[in-house]
């Protein structure tokens, strides 16, 4: 148990973020549960976690917008107090050919997958860094194996956004490592969540996983969540600037 610690998880209403919130609750963290559009899922998850005896605050914000991120962190401060860990999990998948790429969809994708990480990490470092009066903490960035495999069909923008996150992870680790803030990333492979509607849904993805993944199956959100909470917690005290693949060998 880890009762004194406060964590903010972005994109926690569904999929991997929801599993991370459940894992954090099992470990006794107080949780800032961010969602954007899925309010009912977020509220019912929060209720489920409160039944487990932990403190939870639901934080609606589109994390691709800096002003909303700043408001979200102020709401977190008021509800839970000092921040000890941030999971930059929120993200979207998109599939389009380069000849179809336009400003609107690139801004949307990079806003949700990349700018969000910068906006949230900025607020987290301002609170956790010993240089800024904090007591240290951890940041976990949710990348993807797409950053090194190029993604599925039409994946140049998505893969590029996750490649940006990998580089951000490394550079941020150098910047804030001596300030008590550990920074790490996870590269999930094919994980069974609704994000795969873009490529025909979860069932289609599971068929693909049988041949595309050395372990012969897709992963679960819980399998990613356990690694995320290990990276966020004290057991990973000397793990920094790392990227952990959770991809069944893919
Ligand atoms: P998911 O089931 O589609 O859930 C996405 C979550 O992100 C939702 O909670 C959604 O919130 C939130 N979100 C999206 N845009 C947001 C925004 N602008 N502001 C705030 N929240 C936002 O996806 P997932 O599979 O769990 O993916 C989670 C992360 O893992 C993503 O970064 C994804 O790229 C990465 N990943 C997933 C896989 C995979 O196979 N599933 C593989 C590699 C990497 P609302 O519904 O409330 O809007």
Q: What residues are in contact with ligand 1 under a 6 Å CB criterion?
A: 10-11, 13-17, 34-38, 62-64, 89-92, 112, 142, 144, 188, 190-191, 193-195
Number of the ligand 1 atom closest to the C-alpha atom of 42: 47
Which residue among 8, 12, 16 has the greatest number of ligand 1 atoms within 8 angstroms of its CB, and so is best to mutate?
16
Residue 180 CA to ligand 1 center (angstroms) comes to 28
The pTM of the full predicted model, rounded to 2 decimals, is 0.98
Helix then strand then coil, in percent of the chain rounded to 5, is 55, 15, 30
Number of the ligand 1 atom closest to the C-alpha atom of 12: 9
pLDDT in tens, the chain (250 residues): 554 699 999 999 999 999 999 999 999 999 999 999 999 999 999 999 999 999 999 999 999 999 999 999 999 999 999 999 999 999 999 999 999 999 999 999 999 999 999 999 999 999 999 999 999 999 999 999 999 999 999 999 999 999 999 999 999 999 999 999 999 999 999 999 999 999 999 999 999 999 999 999 999 999 999 999 999 999 999 999 999 999 999 9
**CB-CB contact of 237 with 199 (8 Å):** no
Residue 125 CA to ligand 1 center (angstroms) comes to 22
**CB-CB contact of 163 with 206 (8 Å):** no
* Helices 103-110 and 156-176: angle between axes, nearest 10 degrees: 40
Residue minimizing CA distance to atom 6 of ligand 1: 11
Cα dihedral 187→191→193→198 (10° resolution): 80
Can you list the domains of the chain with their CATH numbers?
Answer: 6-244 (3.40.50.720)
The catalytic residue positions are 158
């Amino acid at each position: 148990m880890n009762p004194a610690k406060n964590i903010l998880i972005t994109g926690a209403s569904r999929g991997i973020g929801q599993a991370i919130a459940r894992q954090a609750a099992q470990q006794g963290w107080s949780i800032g549960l961010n969602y954007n559009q899925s309010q009912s899922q977020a509220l019912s998850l929060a209720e489920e976690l409160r039944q487990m005896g932990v403190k939870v605050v639901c934080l609606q914000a589109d994390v691709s917008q800096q002003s909303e991120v700043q408001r979200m962190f102020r709401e977190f401060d008021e509800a839970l107090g000092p921040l000890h860990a941030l999971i930059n999990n929120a993200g979207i998948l998109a599939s389009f050919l380069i000849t179809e790429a336009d400003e609107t969809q690139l801004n949307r994708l990079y806003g949700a997958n990349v700018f969000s990480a910068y906006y949230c990490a900025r607020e987290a470092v301002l609170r956790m860094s010993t240089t800024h009066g904090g007591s240290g903490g951890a940041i976990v960035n949710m990348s993807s194996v797409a950053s090194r495999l190029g993604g599925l069909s039409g994946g140049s923008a998505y893969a590029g956004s996750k490649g940006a996150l990998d580089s951000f992870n490394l550079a941020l680790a150098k910047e804030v490592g001596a300030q008590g803030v550990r920074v790490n990333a996870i590269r999930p492979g094919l994980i069974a969540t609704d994000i795969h509607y873009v490529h025909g849904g979860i069932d289609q993805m599971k068929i693909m996983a049988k041949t595309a993944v050395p372990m012969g199956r897709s992963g679960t959100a819980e399998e990613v969540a356990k690694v995320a909470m290990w990276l966020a917690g004290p057991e990973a005290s000397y793990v920094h600037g790392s990227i952990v693949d959770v991809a069944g060998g893919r």
